[in-house]
Amino acid sequence: MTTIKDVAKDAGVSVGTVSNVINGARVGKEKKILVEQSIQKLGYEVNTLARGLKTQKTDYVVVILPELENPFFSLILSNIEKALSERGKQIVICISGGDAEKEAKFINLAKRNKIDGIIGITYSKIDKYLTDSMAFVSIDRHLRTDIPYVSNDNLAGGRLAAENLCLRGAKNLLCFQTISSLDSEVRNRRRGFEQYCIDHGVRYNCAEFSETQGSSIYTSFGSRNLIRNVLNAYVNTDVDGIFASSDHLAVVICEEARKMGKHIPEDLQVIGFDGLRLLNYGSPLVSSIEQPVELLARTCVDMLMKILNHEEVHSITNLPVRFVEGGTTKKMER
């Protein structure tokens, strides 16, 4: 392996000068050319470990995600990757499976490895593992007062869902969500939903179920039986509009309701949350409140950059959402 010393010797200058050339400091024209030639000739490349040891920085950013098989998370990762790579940062992924210990382990590793910062979407209790020294941006979750977080306008999203069900003729609504949602900003989806119903005198109920721990806690496919049971309790009442706390849940609800003989959207309208699309590109899977994933990712990354730059940052929780028509709600006249 060729080092900075070899280059210095070959170019007939000192290592300091070589270092200056590499890092764009002012260097005399001729020496600079000499050094560049030697670098070319020897095929020299900086050893970022040595550099990091000195500077305590690595240009790595850890992204913590509960899952990758859930398209919503891979979509977020994809967008974060774009924004981060534009900033010259590389991404180390941590797939936590919702396991707080694994998250903690990774945060520790990140510290040891002198990772520049962390962007995390986490629903477990990791507050105590976070040292003040780490640059951390949270998504959809308020972790600690000193940790900024970014989320869409969940309150407006919930309201929007209720409103769109009502506009399409639903009279008796149901808010259907997972327990784990209760922990995070996501709970505001329900709040917004309830607000609208109360403000407009709409009949409504709220149902929730706890997802089974394990392989696919964020997918709602593992908990199909639970969902079926909850749904059973409502399907034969005159509930005619359901707001599900995620598209995953909405898809399963639609499937199960159809099995129970319901026609969607004629008998029962369903609105999900996230705005997922077929293969991430095609048509919406269900009618939904769409999250601005790209903006969300970009906002997180900007925020992290500011922190690394020692600028002051504040949480942002009002990223705009919108209703998208996906075939599980009735068409509206214009």
Partner DNA sequence: CTGTTAGCGCGTTCAC
Partner DNA sequence: GTGAACGCGCTAACAG
Binding site residues, its own copies, CB under 8 A: 45-50, 52-53, 58, 60, 67-71, 74-75, 77-78, 81-82, 85, 90-95, 108-109, 111-114, 216, 219, 221, 247-248, 251, 255, 276, 278-282, 285
Q: How many residues bind DNA (CB under 7 A)?
A: 30
41 binds DNA (CB under 7 A): no
* Residue closer to DNA, measured from CB, 33 or 93: 33
CA atoms within 13 A on the CB side of 219: 13
Q: Which does 28 bind (CB under 5 to 8 A by kind): its own copies, DNA, none?
A: DNA
**Residue closer to its own copies, measured from CB, 119 or 155:** 119
- Which residue's entry shows tokens 């005198």? 201
Nearest-angstrom CA–CA distance, 179 and 29: 65
User: Contacting DNA (CB under 7 A), which of 37, 40, 47, 212?
Assistant: 47
* Contact between 218 and 184 (Cβ < 8 Å): no
Binders in 212-271 for DNA, by CB under 7 A = none
Work out whether strand 269-274 and strand 149-152 pair parallel, antiparallel, or are unpaired. unpaired
Rounded Cα–Cα distance for residues 217 and 223 (Å): 8
Residue 20, binding choice from its own copies, DNA, none, Cβ under 5 to 8 Å by partner class: DNA
31 touches, from DNA, its own copies, none (C-beta below 5 to 8 Å by class): DNA
Between 25 and 278, whose beta carbon lies closer to DNA?
Answer: 25
| Alpha helices by DSSP H, the chain | 4-11, 15-22, 29-42, 48-55, 71-86, 100-112, 154-167, 187-199, 224-235, 247-259, 293-308
Please choose, out of 53-61, 101-109, 184-192, 271-279, the segment that lies near DNA by the rule CB under 7 A: 53-61
Stretch touching DNA by CB under 7 A, among 15-23, 125-133, 204-212, 233-241: 15-23
Binding to DNA by residue 42, rule CB under 7 A?
no
Which residues lie below 8 Å from residue 161, measured CB to CB, with a gap of 6+?
A: 189, 192, 193, 243, 271, 273, 289, 323
Question: Which residue, 13 or 316, is less far from DNA as judged by CB?
Answer: 13
Q: Least separation, in Å, of the C-beta of 116 and DNA?
A: 15
Q: Kindly state whether residue 46 participates in binding DNA, applying the rule CB under 7 A.
A: yes
The span from the CA of 331 to the CA of 334, in Å, is 9
Question: Which of its own copies, DNA, none sits in contact with 30, Cβ below 5 to 8 A by type?
Answer: DNA
- Contact between 265 and 330 under an 8 Å Cβ cutoff? The reply is yes
Distance CA 272, CA 251 (A): 8
Distance CA 87, CA 69 (A): 26
Conformation bin of residue 239: beta by default, left when phi > 0, alpha when psi is -120 to 50: beta
Nearer to DNA (CB atom), residue 22 or residue 135: 22
Smallest separation, CB 205 to DNA (Å) = 57
**Does residue 51 interact with DNA by CB under 7 A?**
yes
Give the binding site for DNA (CB under 7 A): 1, 3-5, 12-17, 19-20, 22-23, 25-28, 30-32, 44-47, 50-51, 53-55
